[in-house]
Amino acid sequence: MPQPTREPGQNTTPVYVIGAGPGGLAVAAALGRRGVRTVVVDKADAVGSSWRGHYDRLRLHTTRRWSSLPGLRIPRSAGRWVPREAFVRYLEQYAHHHRIDLAHGVEVSHISRAPDGAGWVLEANGGRLLRTPAVVVATGYNHTPRLPDWPGMDGFPGQLLHAADYRDPAPFAGRDVLVVGVGNTGAEIAADLAFGGAGQVRLAVRTPPHIMRRSTLGWPSQASAILVRRLPVRLVDVLARPVERAVPDLGRHGLPRPTTGLYSRVREGAIPVQDVGLVKAVRKGLVRPVAAVSSFDGAKVTLADGATITPEVVIAATGYRRGLEPLVGHLGLLDGRGRPLVHGRQNHPAAPGLYFTGFTNPISGMLREIARDAEKIAAAIARRR
């Protein structure tokens, strides 16, 4: 159970948490309950800035029960699958409820060891140098939009945007749109466009995804994911097959079932697509799967199978980078894909007192794991102090 809140000593040097999203707020609240003075810094002017920028249709793919942060539940009025706006309001309430000390407009650009080796120095805008005994990096999994460097893309005369800039289907009514990428974001945007009045919607697919129902007979797929997450990969691959077959086979529509097992793909970083309209849109012919994008040639887009199309709009749902290289890349703490080598309460031997949260995308749900990590990180920091 969470410990009762203890008033932190106001004369002590604070622990800094970088990022006022769910991960940063959860850690700050857990530290506050342990009497550790904490300041959350964020370059934006409000909490949950990345969530505010997501498309309007977005709802959490994890249940309200397993999406709440420690110390305050998401209200039942938000529903089982919480809408984006309701989740942003919850984050605001969470910060207020836990009296989290927020410093907005502070952008940390570099973290380095303190000259005396005791703690860390954060370099921030305005010439700020923030000294701290411990720091938690919670800048988010979806930090920097990643746009592939397709040959010829600079000469495309149509509209080319990243999914991060998509809000709703209204501006694309009657237009020919190509959505690139069939993760949860691409799948949901394609369905949103199809049912929102776009003239034609194509979905460029490099590797067919595993598609699952969000829930079956009231049982959420997240519950199954939590139960099996520690089982052997091959066993989970086998157990998942009947669940996947509950979703209609879209092979004849150009979206075949994957040949690689579901959990094997998860371990490679590919989370299953939760169906919130894509299957219906594909079966009705409102979304047409096509091959991956290879290159651009003026208004033409060449696909991996040699076909060419001429969309008016290309929306790249091609993911994000963690964006940690400027912050900690010099410390040798990142792997080849820019992800932290350690996570949660773990410390890298070369960086005691430096923690990361929110940089994994587990099958059991990112928000659930963020909540669990927050208590562990806070306990580790409290012990160090």
223, 335: one domain: no
**156 inside domain:** yes
Q: For residues 269 and 307, state if they share a domain.
A: yes
Q: Using an 8 Å Cβ cutoff, are 144 and 321 in contact?
A: yes
Query: Which of these ranges, 73-77, 132-136, 211-215, has the smallest mean pLDDT?
Result: 211-215
Are the C-beta atoms of 314 and 160 separated by less than 8 Å? yes
Residue that the structure tokens 């989970």 belong to: 236
Same domain, 107 and 215: no
What whole-number distance in Å separates Cα of residue 287 and Cα of residue 281? 5
Question: Whole-number mean pLDDT of the chain?
Answer: 93
For residue 203, what pLDDT band results from cuts at 50, 70 and 90? very high
| Four-CA torsion 171, 174, 176, 178, nearest 10 degrees | 50
d(CA 145, CA 321): 6
Instruction: Looking at the structure, tell me whether residues 138 and 159 fall in a common domain.
Output: no
Q: Which amino acid is at 313?
A: V
pLDDT digits (tens, 9 = 90+) for 85-133: 999 999 999 999 999 999 999 999 999 999 988 899 999 999 999 999 9
Q: Return the pLDDT at 237.
A: 92
Q: What's the pLDDT score for residue 270? A: 85
Domain that holds residue 369: 15-143+322-384
Close Cβ partners of 116 (under 8 Å, ≥ 6 residues apart): none
Is 0.75 surpassed by the pTM of this model?
Answer: yes
Residue 103, Cβ neighbours under 10 Å: how many?
A: 16
pLDDT for residue 5: 45
Q: Please report whether residue 111 resides in a domain.
A: yes
The DSSP letter of residue 257 is P
* Average pLDDT rounded to a whole number, residues 220-234: 91
Q: What is the mean pLDDT of residues 211-233?
A: 90
Classify residue 7: in a domain, yes or no: no
Same domain, 296 and 338: no
Give the pLDDT confidence score for residue 133 in this predicted structure: 95
pLDDT digits (tens, 9 = 90+) for 320-337: 998 999 999 999 999 988
- One domain, residues 165 and 282: yes
pLDDT at 2 over 60: no
| Cα gap 329→145, rounded to integer Å | 18
Q: What are the structure tokens assigned to 373, written together? A: 């990590």
Query: How confident is residue 10, by pLDDT bands cut at 50, 70 and 90?
Result: low
Is 1 or 239 the better-scoring residue by pLDDT? 239
In a domain, 235, yes or no: yes
Looking at the structure, tell me whether residues 353 and 270 fall in a common domain: no
19 and 70 fall within a common domain: yes
Contact predicate 314/181, CB 8 Å:
no
Q: Which residues contact 359 (CB under 8 A, 6 or more apart)?
A: 141, 322, 324, 339, 340, 343
123-172 pLDDT tens trace: 999 999 999 999 999 998 888 899 999 999 999 999 999 999 999 999 99
Kindly tell me if the per-residue pLDDT of 269 is higher than 90.
Answer: no
Contact 190, 203 (CB under 8 A): yes
Q: How far is CA 67 from the centre of its chain?
A: 13
Residue 216 in contact with residue 246, Cβ under 8 Å?
Answer: yes
Q: Provide the pLDDT for residue 337.
A: 87
- Sign for the CA dihedral angle at 73, 68, 57, 221 comes to negative
- Report the domain count for the chain: 2
Return the closest-CA partner of residue 16 out of 144, 124, 142, 95.
124
With a cut of 80, say whether residue 343 has pLDDT above it: yes
The answer to the question of residue 260 being in a domain is yes
What angle in degrees, to the nearest 10, is found between the helix axes of 221-228 and 233-244?
160
The token duo for 215 is: 């829930």
Is 153 in the same domain as 114?
no
Cα(215)–Cα(169) distance, integer angstroms:
26
Q: Shortest CA distance to 254 belongs to which of 276, 222, 227, 287?
A: 287
Based on the fold, state whether residues 248 and 333 are members of the same structural domain. Answer: no
- Sorting pLDDT into bands at 50, 70 and 90, what band is 7? very low
- pLDDT the model gives residue 131: 95
Residue 8 has pLDDT above 50, yes or no: no
Q: Supply the CATH number for residue 301's domain.
A: 3.50.50.60
Kindly state the percentage of the chain with pLDDT values over 90.
84
Residue 339 and residue 313 in one domain: no
Mean pLDDT, residues 175-204: 97
